[in-house]
Amino acid sequence: MKSLIDILDMTTGELDELIAVAEDIIANPEKYAEACHGLKLASLFFEPSTRTRMSFEAAMYELGGNVISVTGAGTSSAAKGESVADTAKTVSCYTDIIAIRHPKEGAAYVTAQNATIPVINAGDGGHCHPTQTLADLLTIWREKGRLTNLTIGVCGDLKFGRTVHSLINAMSRYEGNRFVLISPEELKVPSYVKKDVLQQKGIPYVQTTDLESVMPELDILYMTRVQRERFFNEEDYLRLKDSYILTTDKLKTAKPDLSILHPLPRVNEISVAVDDDPRACYFKQVLNGKYMRMALILKLLREAGKIR
Ligand code: CP
């Protein structure tokens, strides 16, 4: 049973195909309006979410399917101690595909091992968030017309930011990309991402704490929130939370065709005034996420033999 747990579960050919399907959905939504008629998505969110949960649910409805959901760990039998494995076996009895968000790294993998239906990782702890990356890829594609030969600045909490780890994994597979990793010392990209992805593939990257000094060289600026929920110590969070605040002033030295992305939610790291800058793409990114999730649901249900 094919599932999406890590962005590396998909080849670049498959990612390109999802982008093509998403573009077709955008151009011809009526073609897809009944594609999942009679099928159900289980939306299992054991951690807070606005975009990912709602976009999965909107995606399934726009494909003509239905949704049943768990929102919050306290509202399901997980609160009574039921294991992730038993939850997966149970949910497989009622639905056709699962999207799961869970605070524990590896929970989506365990779900996929025990479910009899396709499973989509909607974020597992600080590990990865592959469908956010699908939204990011479609946004970069639509803004730049390519996924290659880009200088990608990633700024903020690069340690706990699971969207960052998935994005680096994905964009490292496209030719000619280079990364500028901008973070406080304490929130640098984990060494396994540097060793197993960037260094192993010979991808050029630099690390810096200074956003303004690298601004002029960036094609993409991917801002991220400091992940309060992953900190062990509130004092450290308070000290680091405002390390980077993107303002219109700081954008004065940026390229005229810079694309500013952020997986959202935003806390304080992009000033609201930046929203009016034509280079701000983060709300387009939100919408792109729905189209890519539609394309993904179609792909996995087709491979599972549930639709033609
Ligand atoms: N980007 C993202 O995962 O947002 P939510 O936490 O609101 O789903």
Domains of the chain: 7-129+287-303 (3.40.50.1370), 130-285 (3.40.50.1370)
Check residue 128 and give its pLDDT.
86
Q: Count the Cβ atoms, other than its own, within 10 Å of residue 205.
A: 18
Measure 53 CA to ligand 1 centroid, in angstroms.
8
Q: CB under 8 Å to 145, separation ≥6 — which residues?
A: none
Alpha carbon of 78 to ligand 1 centroid (Å): 22
State what percent of residues in the chain have pLDDT above 90.
87
Contacts of the segment 72-79: beta carbons below 8 A, 24+ positions apart? 72/45, 72/46, 72/48, 73/46, 73/47, 73/103, 76/44, 76/46, 78/46
State the pLDDT at residue 161. 85
Residue (of 251, 243, 244, 238) closest to 279 by Cα position: 251
pLDDT of residue 286: 98
Mean pLDDT, rounded, for 169-194: 95
- For residue 236, the model assigns a pLDDT of 79
Whether the per-residue pLDDT at 195 is higher than 80: the answer is yes
Nearest CA to 35 among 289, 301, 304?
A: 301
- Which residues have any ligand 1 atom within 6 Å of their CB? 49-52, 123, 132, 263-265
Predicted local distance difference test score (pLDDT) of residue 1? 60
pTM: 0.95
Of ligand 1's atoms, which has the minimum distance to the CA of residue 123? Answer: 3
Q: Catalytic site residue 146?
A: no
pLDDT at 125: 87
Per-residue pLDDT tens over the stretch 242-280: 889 999 999 999 999 999 999 999 999 999 999 999 999
Tell me the best of 43, 45, 50 to mutate to test the pocket of ligand 1, counting ligand atoms within 8 Å of each CB and taking the most.
50
| pLDDT mean across residues, the chain | 95
Residue 101 appears among annotated catalytic residues: yes
Joined together, the tokens standing for residue 120 give 């989509």
CA distances for 99 relative to 119, 121, 126, 184, angstroms: 6, 6, 17, 33
**Which has the higher per-residue pLDDT, 231 or 203?**
203
Phi, psi of 238 (to 5 degrees): -65, -35
Q: What is the pLDDT of residues 13-66, one digit of tens each?
A: 999 999 999 999 999 999 999 999 999 999 999 999 999 999 999 999 999 999
Atom 1 in ligand 1: which residue has the minimum CA distance?
A: 263
Q: What is the largest CA-CA distance in the chain?
A: 56
Beta strands in 214-292 (DSSP E): 220-223, 259-261
270 DSSP 8-state letter: B
The answer to whether 80 is a known catalytic residue is yes
Q: What percentage of the chain carries pLDDT values higher than 70? A: 99
CA 202 / ligand 1 centre spacing (Å): 31
Contact call for residues 159 and 190 (beta carbons, < 8 A)? yes
Q: Does the active-site annotation cover 165?
A: no
104 is catalytic: no
Alpha helices (H) in 84-240, listed in sequence order: 84-92, 107-114, 130-144, 162-171, 191-193, 211-214, 234-240
Is 229 a residue whose pLDDT tops 80? no
Q: Whose CA is nearest to atom 5 of ligand 1?
A: 49
How far apart, in whole angstroms, are the C-alpha atoms of residue 189 and residue 152? 14
For 163-188, what is the mean pLDDT? 95
Taking 70 as the threshold, does the pLDDT of residue 180 lie above it? yes
Q: Quick one: average pLDDT of 210-218?
A: 97
Of the pLDDT bands very low, low, confident and very high (cuts 50, 70, 90), residue 162 is confident
**Looking at residue 19, what is its pLDDT?**
98
Q: How confident is the model at residue 72 (pLDDT cuts 50, 70, 90)?
A: confident
Query: Which positions ≥6 away from 243 have C-beta within 8 Å?
Result: 156, 183, 184, 187, 226
